[in-house]
Chain A
Amino acid sequence: MRKSTRKKIAQSIGFLALRAAMGLVLAVLFLFLYDIGRKGGGAISWEFLSQAPRRGMTEGGIFPAIVGTLLVTIITAVLAVPLGMSAAIYLHEYARQTRLTRLIRLSIRNLSGVPSIVYGLFGVILFVNAMRFGTSILSAGLTLGLMTLPWTITASEEALKTVPDSYREGALALGATKWQSIRTNVLPYAVPGMLTGTVLGLARAAGETAPILFTGAAFYLPYLPRSLGDQFMALPYHLYIMATQHHAIQQVRPLAYGTALVLIALVLGLNMTAVVLRYRLRRKRR
């Protein structure tokens, strides 16, 4: 066989393998979504979305859990977004690249790999006990915020890295101060990437159970929280209860699937927001 034919065959086999891998991943994903959609779709109704659970959570809806998850995610964002972006700007634009900054960066990368239950325990010690916020939306949101910080910092730093140095130098050469060059000639081009990474981090936080388990999520509260100091219901925790801890697991299974469907829709929605946001901002720059 000629060498070029052999190379072509090798290439076809390679492509086929890549396609098969891609197909497998997609198949698993769709199977998963289909299963949840099929089993949870029936539970979705306006009542399910807008009412509190009733009769020991065997009837009624998940409205308090939706509100709780949204509120907690807002607290998470308030902590993680400004702090994470600022830290990334400092690390990438200002800090001298020494052994210390390398160590800090390594620590941040490692923090994003720490299991979420560890953040949960840390949140209990710091926010619930030491800072006396009690088990509350505030404690849970801050705990999730801490967990999300390494993600926002890393994503923001990666976004800053994609802005060419020539933008910075060009601005400096025209008599811009360092901050002017960053504010007017670096951040506008880094922000879409920063936001994407941040929203993805938030979506992940919204779906977490372990960090809110001890810091504020309640088993069953048939009313809405009245302040940030209140406990709250959250979708992921509610799902966990419905799926494993409920006294009538078989009976509430459709409700559990419905909750899962809402949670997935919420997280996917957040991810889509990130994509749309990035697309919009990119187009505006053109």
Chain B
Amino acid sequence: MSPETSVAKIETRDLDFYYGPSRALKRVSISCHRNRVTAIIGPSGCGKSTFIRTLNRMNDVIPGTRVEGTILLDGKDIHSPDVDVVDLRRRVGMVFQKPNPFPKSVFDNIAYGLRINGMKNKRKLEAVVERSLRGAALWEEVKDRLEDNAFSLSGGQQQRLCIARALAVEPEVILFDEPCSAIDPIATAKVEDLIENLKKSYTVVIVTHNMQQAARVSDYTAFMMLGELVEFDRTEKIFTNPQNKLTEDYITGRFG
């Protein structure tokens, strides 16, 4: 199911996912395009977080899980044996639900991804740190406290720090797993503006339980329920003229 004709940056075909015997995703096919924001919405437990975590194989670390079906990044199966999962995760970045800065300085947080890839040149690191913080609209607020512990930032700043940290390794796709669920409304607005900006350079996928947020930031919206994709279309279509009765009931707040 693809509402756009161009080749997808990342897409799933008949994706099934199992936690042990229980099936969390049922034949989900979604394609996400370059320079577009794709939002995944749905009630709690519908599998939206599970879905987004399959895209960078983050679920691999959970024991007893199994994936069936195909996930293509630039047309290549990310589960094929010659794909290195470490390389995949560098290309497909992720921002988590709760801001998870490392207990290091602001600078070291951003530099982390570069350092583990062997970059030692201090001047280059400084350049990337500044560029990433600017990219996450955080530079002005933290430029004088780069050596402070990241925990001393506010929740919203911490989340933008995590975004900057993801940007620093120059991913191609950025996954947001409910990035605003743990921060206040003003910080949320900042993160939303940021996402709007990021799509100029990246493919963005965002999971959110906040329908207004999906309506505000995304170009495409997928509505999921009980592990199944119910409807996937242009965001304005989903919110103004949904084809499926379940979608309509959900976005009009008849259940949630």
By a beta-carbon cutoff of 8 Å, the part of chain A in contact with chain B is 96-97, 164, 166-177, 180, 184-185, 189, 285-286
Contacts and interface: CB of A to CB of B under 8 A. Distances in A.
A189 B86 contact: no
A65 B61 CA distance: 51
A185 B104 CA distance: 9
Given A96-B63, A286-B149, A175 B98 contact: no
B165 interface: yes
A166 B149 contact: no
Given A97-B63, A177-B86, A170 B116 contact: no
B40 to A, nearest CB: 18
A166 B100 contact: yes
Contacts of B94: 173
Contacts of B102: 167, 170-171, 185
Nearest to A175: B90
Given A167-B102, A169-B58, A285-B103, A176 B96 contact: no
B96 A180 contact: no
Given A97-B63, A285-B103, A175 B87 contact: yes
Contacts of A174: 89-90, 93, 112-113, 116, 165-166, 169
Interface in B187-231: none
Nearest to A170: B100
Given A164-B100, A167-B100, A189-B103, 11 more contacts: A96-B63, A97-B63, A166-B98, A170-B162, A174-B89, A174-B116, A175-B117, A175-B169, A184-B115, A184-B116, A185-B102
A169 B116 contact: no
A176 B100 contact: no
B159 interface: no
A176 B118 CA distance: 11
A215 B89 CA distance: 54
A97 B62 CA distance: 11
Nearest to A173: B94
B235 interface: no
Interface in B75-104: 86-87, 89-90, 93-94, 96, 98, 100, 102-103
A188 to B, nearest CB: 9
A176 B162 CA distance: 15
Contact of B86 (A164, A169, A176): A176
A121 to B, nearest CB: 39
